[in-house]
Structure 1
Amino acid sequence: MSPEPTAPGPHTTLRTGVVWELLEEAMERRVAATGRSELTVLDAGGGSGSLAVRVAAGGHRVTVVDPSPDALFALRRRAAEEGVAERIRGVQGDTGDLLEVAGDGYDLVLCHGVLEYVEDPAAGMRAIARALAPGGIAGVLVAGMGGAVLARALGGRFAEARALFSDTSPEPDPVPGGAVPHRFTEPELTGLAETAGLVPTAVHGVRIFADLVPGALVDSEPDALRELSRLEREAASHPAFRAVAAHLHLLAANPAA
């Protein structure tokens, strides 16, 4: 894979590094399985293309589906600036009409930060599954229940933490003014995938410590950011830490026909 076209800031790298490494590995596995160096990738809810451009820079063809015309305009501009415009197309739509606007048969379907906002996450996961080719891989990133509870508790917002903790199903956030309608535990996320006909292959925790460590601490110590990044990567696959991650990242396969 090619390096990222534009260098992200250190905190962005810290919070996205685990996900990108997982996706690189997934794409390498799919390349090996298909014998094709160029994969077809669908980014559902891909916005202005921060992830899509990075994938396209690795030589793959990416379709971005997003409901916002402004985001798709920004996608086209970003793709042109990074020299990958010929490998990216943007279409307006959402998970409700994913197949109608983007088709199916994709090697990889990405859905990051979407299922927590849709009215019916199960239907969204089914759309992801139907868009995959046999043997294709889904990469789904969602807001984690445990991380939200922990962050509120550490911030002294005990009532809010308790309200979230008592709501163990992906229903609207019981905290008044809560910005995320759905939060997921690992069993809920893998259950959605299995019900949609996918086979979960890995779940990782994302942003386990990054949102809890004071930024001043990281900025003041030359080696702190690197060590914190290493800690995030090593803890990502550990069940105890996945349970309290801000986000959960699922890799799931569409069984080969």
Structure 2
Amino acid sequence: MSRPRASLRTAVVWEVLREALDDRAKATGRGTLDVLDTGGGTGNFAVPVAGLGHRVTVVDPSPDALFALERRAAEQGVADRVRGVQGDAHGLFEVAERGGYDAVLCHGVLEYVDDPAEGLRNVAAALRPGGVLSVLAAGLGGAVLARALAGRFTEARRALADPDGRWGGGDPVPRRFTPEQLTGLVAANGLEVAAVHGVRVFADLVPGALVDAEPGATEALARLEEAVAELPAFHSVAAQLHVLAWTRSNGGGAGAPAADGTV
């Protein structure tokens, strides 16, 4: 069965996240992890994570999104493992426990918060020692490339020069990041960057009609996205950037090889 085209937006991140959660579960010796999803909205990641058997707390400012999350979790049979609370990264510890989670997801948050450094500092502080952090944010290079390919050359140049990576007043995204900026924010909070991935390198640029017209094209495009995700040369043109990091525990992140080579 071919995968839906919409899954191209999340497939790379999901595979990386699932493996990281498996590694964390093995490292802790517990099958069930406590996961915090900041800005998790309707549960695009929270519900599948709960489907792996983990407990997930979703923090989101939108009551409508949290209502949809509750319905989605019930439909997937994981309502007992998903809890939604209204809040945001700025006041995170008004609704979430400091140092209480094995994994924290910060997807599509840093673009919109007033202070990305503060937001990332809070989500990092929610992790237990050895916990895993998954950050997904808008990439500057992908926006510049997309505007240029659309013939919006002035807007592309404006985004390139703008401190926040915005192409103009009509830009719906308040902020974008280069790979160096995003990994720098993560490392500044004492986390160990384990991997960087380019997400939606090609998926947003290829016309949907072209993909839909060719049998197997969606799957082939997904495999291409997977193939380039970890290649640094493509990070600078990705629509989104994903950073996977670990809090340091006994000198290294959970899941990192120990001195004897074990994990």
**TM-score, with length taken from structure 1:** 0.94
Report the counterpart of residue 12 of structure 2 in structure 1. 18
Read off the aligned partner of 1:208 and give its amino acid letter.
V
Report the counterpart of residue 228 of structure 1 in structure 2. 221
Aligned pair partner of 1:152 in 147, 152, 166: 147
Report the counterpart of residue 120 of structure 2 in structure 1. 125
User: Within the alignment, does 1:166 sit opposite 2:161 as a pair?
Assistant: yes
Consecutive unaligned residues of structure 2, counting only runs of 5 or more, are: 251-263
Report the counterpart of residue 38 of structure 1 in structure 2. 32
Secondary structure of 2:15's counterpart equals: helix
Secondary structure of 1:95's counterpart equals: coil
Query: How far off its partner does 1:100 sit?
Result: 2.0
1:178, 1:254 → 2: CA distance? 34
Alignment of structure 1 residues 240-255 onto 2, 5 Å: 240-255=233-248
Query: How far off its partner does 1:173 sit?
Result: 2.3
Query: How far off its partner does 1:97 sit?
Result: 1.1
User: Within the alignment, does 1:209 sit opposite 2:202 as a pair?
Assistant: yes
**Structure 1 or 2: more helix by fraction:** 1
Report the counterpart of residue 110 of structure 2 in structure 1. 115
Instruction: Tell me if structure 1 keeps the 8 A contact 2:133–2:244.
Output: yes
After superposition, the C-alpha distances for 1:63-120 in whole angstroms (9 at most, x for unaligned) are 0000111111111111111111110111110001112211132111001111001110
Query: How far off its partner does 1:174 sit?
Result: 4.9
Read off the aligned partner of 1:245 and give its amino acid letter.
A
2:73, 2:7 → 1: CA distance? 20
Instruction: Tell me if structure 1 keeps the 8 A contact 2:13–2:199.
Output: yes
Report the counterpart of residue 133 of structure 2 in structure 1. 138
1:187, 1:172 → 2: CA distance? 14
> What's the C-alpha RMSD, in Å, of the aligned pairs?
1.5
Query: How far off its partner does 1:135 sit?
Result: 0.3
Alignment of structure 1 residues 12-91 onto 2, 5 Å: 12-91=6-85
Aligned length: 249
Secondary structure of 2:94's counterpart equals: helix
Report the counterpart of residue 88 of structure 2 in structure 1. 94
1:202, 1:50 → 2: CA distance? 22
2:2, 2:92 → 1: CA distance? 29
After superposition, the C-alpha distances for 1:37-63 in whole angstroms (9 at most, x for unaligned) are 101100000011121111001100000
Read off the aligned partner of 2:171 and give its amino acid letter.
G
Instruction: Tell me if structure 1 keeps the 8 A contact 2:165–2:177.
Output: no
Secondary structure of 2:128's counterpart equals: strand
Segments of 4+ in structure 1 off by > 3 A?
none
User: Within the alignment, does 1:218 sit opposite 2:211 as a pair?
Assistant: yes
CA 1:8–1:178: 2 relative to 1, 3 Å: farther
Secondary structure of 1:189's counterpart equals: helix
Secondary structure of 1:199's counterpart equals: strand
Report the counterpart of residue 189 of structure 1 in structure 2. 182
Read off the aligned partner of 1:237 and give its amino acid letter.
E
1:12, 1:38 → 2: CA distance? 29
Read off the aligned partner of 2:168 and give its amino acid letter.
V
Identical positions, percent: 62
Read off the aligned partner of 1:183 and give its amino acid letter.
R
1:43, 1:17 → 2: CA distance? 17
Instruction: Tell me if structure 1 keeps the 8 A contact 2:2–2:216.
Output: no
1:132, 1:23 → 2: CA distance? 15
Read off the aligned partner of 1:50 and give its amino acid letter.
N
After superposition, the C-alpha distances for 1:229-254 in whole angstroms (9 at most, x for unaligned) are 11000000001111100000000111
